[in-house]
Amino acid sequence: MIEVSNLSYAAGDTRILHDVSTRIEKGGITALIGPNGAGKSTLLHCLSGLETPSAGSVRIDGIDPLAVRPEERARVVALLQQSPVLVSRLSVRDLVSFGRWPHHQGRPKAEDRDMVERALTAFSLTDLAERTIATLSGGQRQRAFIAMTWAQDTPWMLLDEPLNALDPRHARDLMARLHGLSRDGARSIVIVLHDINAAAGWADHIVAMKDGRIVAQDTSHELLTEPTLREVFDTPFELLEHRGRKVVVAR
Amino acid sequence: MKAWLITLALLAALVVASLLIGVASMGDDPVWLMVVSRIPRTAAALLAGAGLALAGVVVQQVVQNRMVEPSFTGAPEASMLGLLAVMLLVPGMAVAGKMLVAAAAAMVGMLGYLALAARLPREDPMLLPIVGIVYGGVLGAVGVYIAWSADLMQSLGAWRLGEFSGVMIGRYEWLWAIAALAGLLYVIADRITILGLGETQARSLGLDYAQTRMLGLVVVSVITALVLVTVGAFPFVGLVAPNIVARWRGDNLRANLPLIAVGGGALLLAADVIGRIVRFPFEIPAATVIAVFGAAVFLWLLHAAPGRRHG
Amino acid sequence: MAERRVLFLGLGLLMICAGFLAWQIRAPYGFILELRAAKLGALVCVGAATGAATVLFQTVAGNRLLTPGLVGFDALFVLLQTLLVVALGGVGAAQIPGGLRFLMELVALAVCSAALFGLLLRRDARDITKMILTGVILGVLLRGLAEMVQRMMDPSEFAVVQQAIFASFGNVDNGQLAVSAMVLLASLAAALRMAPALDVAGLGRETARGLGLNHDRVVMMALLLMAAMVSVSTALVGPITFLGLLTASLARRLTNTHRHAVLLPAAALIGALILVAGQFVFERLMGAQSALAVIVEFFGGLLFLALVLQKKARR
């Protein structure tokens, strides 16, 4: 469980998070949604322990990510940044292997190699394993980075807008994969999503943010109601039901 | 394996050529000539080249841009400023002290560059080398002004245009420190590769980013100072060697650092040998040869590089 | 308004020039005046040529950070000079009268630069930063090549030739100065004549062509004129990379216009003003001879960095 208490974050004079408190339960996919500038990404970075909040605290499974040593933290929580900037001739396998770095610090064991292969398989990268990052398409590259984060084998996996720059097919494919992989309950995924319907379709829980505060938090089904969405996004919505899933259309 | 065979064969040929070519005649006392002049000169070129290539790859990982190298970060120019200060303020300082000052100055220069670089838009990767070149030029202008006012232009000229004609036994041994630094880099090769993934990703993997980056920059500063004080500055070695190796073998430093080092050494030795041959018995400084060759390769890399704008 | 400022610039330049000539003058008046006049002529020519050439280049390239010096125009000139000496032999080159040799070099530079930089501008027009980087490295390459060729010449022969080729403000050949001044005036006049076309060309290739301008022809013409101006400044004193940047930026800021009919003369005047005033301060007031170029490089480089960073802030 992630527990956030009275978290505030300021960059210079701009306050980005205002006294945020919440609990994110283990298991499944939790989506962070909200308009641009709501503080979703900042909250995610604070959860990962990569940003130091100006006040308040974060506990991941009881651990303060800022208090423990970096490699210890990296065995509990993994973050994939938004559109990672990398023009690299690293091979896909090399990149994914770096996900094991917090576990072996440069001396990989058999189980590390095994995990890399499993991550490659899980994200259908086996055929691309020897290709270099620079030669991949946008969708393949995003998959390779997520596979690296996956190989980190942390109970918590935080993804910052992984659907950015993916076309609908690859976006659906990726969400379905993450959904499938998170069913066994061993991994909990917290994911910032721009597309409400991606959240509606695949997330178990949704946290809705606005102006640096959490406005609503519930299971996807309960949270996705017209009044809540209207309040979060300042625009009227229409909700449809399609095969038991909610579909959201901005009016 | 093939890459290694080719590189080593090339290296062997260059070493033989370097040992055999020179103005002094072998006739009188070949062993003495070898020990005093030819072997030191060959070793100096190899060590300096290897060091610059390694420094180049570290800088490229730190700024996440493969079009940058130490001489595009103001490091050599800052180092020269430090050396000028030593000559003016503490003229009798021992070589070790000079090295230390030069390395510290290089570090300050590079930190200044990184501060500038952090303010540049990420989506325009070509700005990094341009800004670095101009920044180095500004520092260089300060150096020229000081040197010119203090009548030290000759020293400055020797630093700015590296060459090996003055290398002999007893005058280059500092460069062996590069071998030790190369060993250190090999130990932390994975960390340096992870630096290249960017700060967020590196920290998410549990790397102490700031500390690793500092360590890398210290290594670059020390190498810059060692090479500058002993044989002078050489442009492009740190750019060309890592880029060619990366094109050939990819970016995993654990696997490629040795090849990059050997490649850099071979490159600079080749420049020195060519400089000795083309206008025999006169010599063209290796820095001039490498500037022409390096600039040509850079232009090729710039226009042949695929996918440089992704991400 | 802008025109009035150009007028003031002209008056300012005249006053500084008068001061430069008359400051603490002693007998023999005629001799000293002649020396100073030659130096003044060189300063004015170089400053004006660099300023106007940079405005032309920035218009053609569609970028206000570029200068001919930054992309190695002057290096190309030095390389051509050297190659000419190699082709004719040192003694042969030294025997050709200064003016004629200068004209030969000028034609060679105009042709080569139009070919080289025309290609560069065309190929990389979409990616400005890549073009700048290419230009900068091209400059390094050309400079290195020139140095290589010079070092491959017979050292004694080169020493003789170097005297003939490379001058400085302190050592100006009157014949060359006269030719330079004429070339400069002619190209300035030609550039002013095509000022309206340059205004349109400054809108960018697509827009300009949409407006019916033969953009490629204008670019070629501008490149040729610029080559002539760069030859003038490089032949007289050698490269000062960032003088053009300082000058063109000041000219744009001061006149606040895109009209070349105003910009070109303003840049020419400011370039001359910077050099004359700078030399006056350094040589007459501070007693330092040749530090001017270094100072210009220093402040020009700082300006470049400031402009790059400011560009980011505005986004």
Supply the pLDDT for residue B47.
Answer: 97
Judged by CB atoms closer than 8 Å, whether chains meet at B205 and A101 is answered as yes
Closest CA to A34 of A56, A51, A16, A52: A16
Instruction: Lowest mean pLDDT of A9-13, B11-15, B19-23, C237-241, name the range.
Output: C237-241
Tens of pLDDT, residue by residue over C27-60, are: 788 888 888 888 888 889 999 999 999 999 888 8
Q: Name the neighbours of C, counting chains with at least 3 Cβ pairs within 8 A.
A: B
CATH label of the domain that carries residue C181: 1.10.3470.10
Chains A and C touch (3+ CB pairs under 8 A): no
DSSP symbol at A2:
E
Range of the domain at C172: 2-314
Q: How many domains does chain C have?
A: 1
Higher pLDDT, A181 or C216: A181
Tell me whether B198 touches chain A (CB under 8 Å). yes
The b/e string for A199-209 (b: 16+ C-beta within 10 A; e otherwise) is bbbbbbbbbbb
Judged by CB atoms closer than 8 Å, whether chains meet at C132 and B130 is answered as yes
CA distance B279 to C148: 10
Q: Does the predicted interface ipTM exceed a cut of 0.85?
A: no
Only one residue has tokens 């670019």, namely C219
Q: Where are the beta strands (DSSP E) in B144-199?
A: none
Supply the pLDDT for residue C168.
Answer: 55
Mean pLDDT over all residues of chain A?
Answer: 90
What is this structure's pTM? 0.84
Rounded to an integer, the average pLDDT of C127-151 is 82
Q: How far is C277 from chain B (nearest CA, A)?
A: 19
Pick from C133, C155, C312: CB nearest B130: C133
Asked if residue B62 has pLDDT above 80, the reply is: yes
Q: How far is A239 from chain B (nearest CA, A)?
A: 35
Q: How far is A162 from chain B (nearest CA, A)?
A: 13
Judged by CB atoms closer than 8 Å, whether chains meet at A79 and B200 is answered as yes
Assess contact for C41 and C172: CB atoms under 8 A. Answer: yes
In chain A, the percentage of residues whose pLDDT exceeds 90 is: 58
Judged by CB atoms closer than 8 Å, whether chains meet at B138 and C133 is answered as no
Q: With contacts defined as CB-CB under 8 Å, which chain B residues touch C127?
A: 126
Picking from B205, B208, B260, B309 by the largest number of A CB atoms within 10 A of its own CB, the best residue to mutate is B205
Closest CA to B290 of B263, B272, B265: B272
Assess contact for B264 and B58: CB atoms under 8 A. Answer: no
DSSP symbol at A201:
H
Supply the pLDDT for residue C30.
Answer: 81
Q: How far is C251 from chain B (nearest CA, A)?
A: 22
Pick from B191, B247, B311: CB nearest A85: B311
Closest CA to C221 of C46, C54, C47, C57: C57
Supply the pLDDT for residue C158.
Answer: 67
Residue B296 tokens, joined: 């040509």
CA distance B75 to B223: 10
Residue A15: strand pairing partners: A10
Pick from B141, B291, B302: CB nearest C140: B291
Using DSSP, state whether A52 is helix, strand or coil: coil
Q: With contacts defined as CB-CB under 8 Å, which chain C residues touch B114?
A: none
Q: How far is B127 from chain A (nearest CA, A)?
A: 16
Closest-CA residue of C relative to B274 is: C148
Tell me whether C295 touches chain B (CB under 8 Å). yes
CA distances from C93 to B82, C101, C185 (A): 43, 8, 26
